[in-house]
Structure 1
């Protein structure tokens, strides 16, 4: 199994080649998509905060909110976040629920209940389980963190609607597969599901002629 973390263009290209060998149906998809974005993100509290900020808002809104949020702090970290009163953080554009989620994440890190630097060493199921113990952090958020912030090579966020649509399209399904079916259909892409998820988002963007999600 290829264990290189998806933290460079070179590693992603190697994994895309491996993916095409796993499933030759993807060869023309890779060719059509041309360059597949790496979308590497910071890890730790900053990376998680950026994911939470961007949930359920447009790309433009997420970028604007993140700019204001990050601008409140010299360094986006748990300690600085907790030092700011709710009104100033909410004033950056965060909803009450997102503020509460980030408070929980920051407090868990400060107490030692959550150790971001240890997540990279855990099996993905254990890392996801740790993250989803925090209120407001669901499986999609945890998987996105592992995928983009840690560069895990074999994560496929099967609860993502765009990914579900593309998996259905690749498999010629009339109906969009649900999360459980999507996971089953993508097992063939292991151990390259991290590259596969990036490819499917890019494919979605190409087919819909838009950017897709941005983290």
Structure 2
């Protein structure tokens, strides 16, 4: 069986130096932590399945289910997942609701009813609009696709609990409003994705 191909999110001095200047508090933490890697999945369908699995469960649970998926299917393709049943997918350890969602999306793509081709060329808001047209795919899942598959440079997701928790820890906030979140997000722009990588690290530290 072949494992799904992964790589690390591509960023360098340009992004880190910008963020250090734009936000000294974040910058000090970035210097202390050093380079933080974020593994991504360049294949659109595999990344979408991974993002759906990751909805509202722990990182440890995601890793376990994803490992079982790869053991069972090898290459994660629409044809392979569509050829079986939702029960087959659910047996990897996820909820039946997610399994049905993944199976239905695999069937739609395998049948040519939904095309992933061309998504990589769309601007962020159009990617979100297209992906959220699929049942079971919300804004958070689409935003994770932007960052963890397409390597878009400026993604900071309000819907991601860990990113919000990372912000609260970084700035010593007992709570975080959407307005405060957006102020920080704008400060990080246009390299919000690198800020998100560090906020995740801070959140789980």
TM-score range, shorter chain: 0.7 to 0.9
Which residue number in structure 2 is paired with residue 144 of structure 1? 144
Question: What CA distance in whole angstroms lies between the structure 2 residues aligned with 1:9 and 1:198?
Answer: 9
Match of residue 62 from structure 2: 62
Which residue pairs with 2:188 in the alignment? 189
Where in structure 2 are the equivalents of 1:85-164 lying within 5 Å? 85-164=85-164
Counterparts of 2:27 and 2:204, CA distance in 1? 17
TM-score (ref. length: structure 1): 0.82
- Identify if the C-alpha distance between structure 1 residues 9 and 96 changes in structure 2 by more than 3 Å, giving closer, same or farther: closer
Unaligned runs of 5+ residues in structure 1 are 1-6, 207-215
C-alpha RMSD of the superposition: 2.2
Unaligned runs of 5+ residues in structure 2 are: 1-6
CA contact 1:155–1:194 (8 Å) conserved in 2:
yes
Distance in 2 of aligned mates of 1:115 and 1:125: 17
Could you tell me how far apart the structure 2 residues matched to 1:173 and 1:31 are? 21
State the SS of the aligned residue for 1:117: coil
Identify the range of structure 1 (114-123 vs 167-176) with the bigger mean alpha-carbon deviation: 167-176
Change (3 A) 1:113 1:124: farther
The structural deviation recorded for 1:111 is 4.2
Following superposition, the deviation at residue 91 of structure 1 comes to 1.5
> Equivalent residue for 2:19?
19
Residue 19 of structure 1 and its aligned partner are, at CA, apart by 1.6
By how many angstroms is 1:120 displaced?
A: 1.6
CA distance in 1, matches of 2:117, 2:22: 32
Alignment coverage as a number of residue pairs: 199
Structure 1: distance between partners of 2:174 and 2:93: 39
Q: Distance in 1 between matches of 2:11 and 2:37?
A: 12
- Cα distance in 2 for partners of 1:137, 1:175 equals 27
Q: Report deviation, 1:23.
A: 2.2
